[in-house]
Structure 1
Amino acid sequence: MDIRLEWGSEGVAALGADCAVLVVVDVLSFCTTTDLVLGNGGRVLPVRWRDHRGEEAAKARGAILAGENEWTLRPSSVTQIPSGTLLALPSPNGATLCDTAATTGAHVLAGCLRNATAIATRAAELADGRPIGVIPAGERWGIGIRTEANTFGPLRPCVEDQLGAGMIVAALDGYGRLSAEARLAATAAKAIDIAEALTECSSGRELAEAGHANDVKLAAELDTSSTVPLLRNGILEDS
């Protein structure tokens, strides 16, 4: 298959050896926040979740650690981030998967709903006829922003990443044969009201109940960005 889709860290392991490009999709919130940072002229250094060595290494490279100032993993916190900022952004899903995918030798892109078409176009250019892997991050049961545990629970598939991945796959129309998983995601994404789905899904409701409904709104804006975060030397930069 030319375009394949598998979930989470297990998906990276399954596709990393065969795919020229891996697209990590974490809509709520790592990849959406990354898109906004890069759209303002900044860069993002993904940091594994609860990795204090990784955080210190990022700061040694001149990065500002999210959470130590006004900028956090929340998309709405970075809408006015200054150009030139290098933000070290830890997250349990998207950032951790980007770091994992970097070890496979594939080109690594960070995609979301906001930049779905731009990501698909760049993925096709980079892959140049070779297979593309799309990795919806999902979540982990028992792991959240306020969780202190270092261990990861079992995979919790989520609506927002399924739809983000599906929109990227749909935008790759004509590139080649789709796996059944990729085809299902694309069909679902094209058949549903994206904004409504993100508002009603578990992750969207949880964020709204915590007072962060605007983060969901920002994440649901389909194809409003042409930013393409590409991982180079451990940093996501607009390619």
Structure 2
Amino acid sequence: MDTWGQIEADIRLEWGPEGVEALGGSCAVLVVVDVLSFCTTTDLVLGNGGRVRPVRWRDHRGEEAAKERGAILAGESEWTLRPSSVTEIPSGTLLALPSPNGATLCDAAATTGAEVLAGCLRNATAVAARAAELADGRPIGVVPAGERWGVDVRTEVKAFGPLRPCVEDQLGAGAIVAALTGYGRLSAEARLAAIAAKAIDIAEALTECSSGRELAAAGHANDVKLAAKLDTSSTVPVLRNGILEDS
């Protein structure tokens, strides 16, 4: 048993930044899952031939550093964190994409020494296959990002509230774990997520969950539809030198 009690599990699951901390020292690969919306937007950008630089939320130095490397900052053009904004993003675009959950976790995961992948429902099977290849028999950690109570993307407030687990990331993580069938023993947390992903109508769940309803109420129902498209993409975002590239 390791420090965090994940007894002999080859595939492990823990939530949020605490999950990155818990799994980063023992897993060869960390898969960050933020379905609404960072990882879905990343999948679409890479699917169009672009790249994504994850930027920690409200990190203005990080934003400026990304622009110095030639990135276009999301929100300063027609491209934003919303998946529907990048469906026709030009090939070759390097998009600096801040988010309070997925991008922030990718940056944190990069400090652990593990290989870092960004997964969602759209690319679940492709990401699982690449994770297994990179891990090569060593443990894989899956980290559903969740949300944070009290975080409002429309304000400059930097305070992060407590973790808010969410249906969409549970299902995204579960779909990836389910696609790792045969890799090895699942932790109880990973097994539960996989069972949920296989037992439920995913599109219906995303429409009815709190995050999906909040986006629909704000006029962004199409973002939810794009995020719910299970295994429609073969894109595998792998973090290399601070940039997520298809690999």
**Structure 1 and Structure 2 fold alike (TM over 0.5):** yes
Corresponding position: 1:119 with 2:127: yes
Conserved? CA contact 1:92–1:144, under 8 Å: no
Q: Name 1:13's counterpart in structure 2.
A: 21
Q: Which runs of 5+ in 2 are unaligned?
A: 1-8
Q: Name 2:83's counterpart in structure 1.
A: 75
Corresponding position: 1:159 with 2:171: no
Q: 1:46 aligns with which of 54, 59, 66?
A: 54
Distance in 2 between residues matched to 1:63 and 1:171, nearest whole Å:
33
Distance in 2 between residues matched to 1:152 and 1:13, nearest whole Å:
17
Percentage identity across paired residues of the two chains = 89
Paired letter, 2:138: R
Deviations 1:24-59 (A, max 9, x none): 000000000000000000000000000000000000
Deviation, structure 1 residue 203: 0.3
Paired letter, 1:211: G
Matches within 5 A, 1:158-177: 158-177=166-185
Q: 1:198 aligns with which of 199, 206, 209?
A: 206
Please report the TM-score for the alignment, with normalisation by the length of structure 1. 1.00
Deviation, structure 1 residue 221: 0.1
User: CA-atom RMSD, angstroms?
Assistant: 0.4
Q: Which runs of 5+ in 1 are unaligned?
A: none
Distance in 2 between residues matched to 1:17 and 1:138, nearest whole Å:
21
Q: 1:207 aligns with which of 215, 229, 242?
A: 215
Distance in 2 between residues matched to 1:147 and 1:108, nearest whole Å:
29
Deviation, structure 1 residue 148: 2.1
Distance in 1 between residues matched to 2:67 and 2:100, nearest whole Å:
19
Q: Name 2:37's counterpart in structure 1.
A: 29
Q: Name 2:6's counterpart in structure 1.
A: none
Corresponding position: 1:131 with 2:139: yes
Q: 1:178 aligns with which of 182, 186, 198?
A: 186
Deviation, structure 1 residue 166: 0.2
Deviation, structure 1 residue 144: 2.9
Residue 231 of structure 1 aligns to a residue whose secondary structure is strand
Distance in 2 between residues matched to 1:60 and 1:4, nearest whole Å:
37
Paired letter, 2:239: L
Matched positions, count? 239
Distance in 1 between residues matched to 2:21 and 2:67, nearest whole Å:
28
Paired letter, 2:143: I
Distance in 2 between residues matched to 1:146 and 1:93, nearest whole Å:
15
Distance in 2 between residues matched to 1:87 and 1:229, nearest whole Å:
13
Distance in 1 between residues matched to 2:152 and 2:223, nearest whole Å:
16
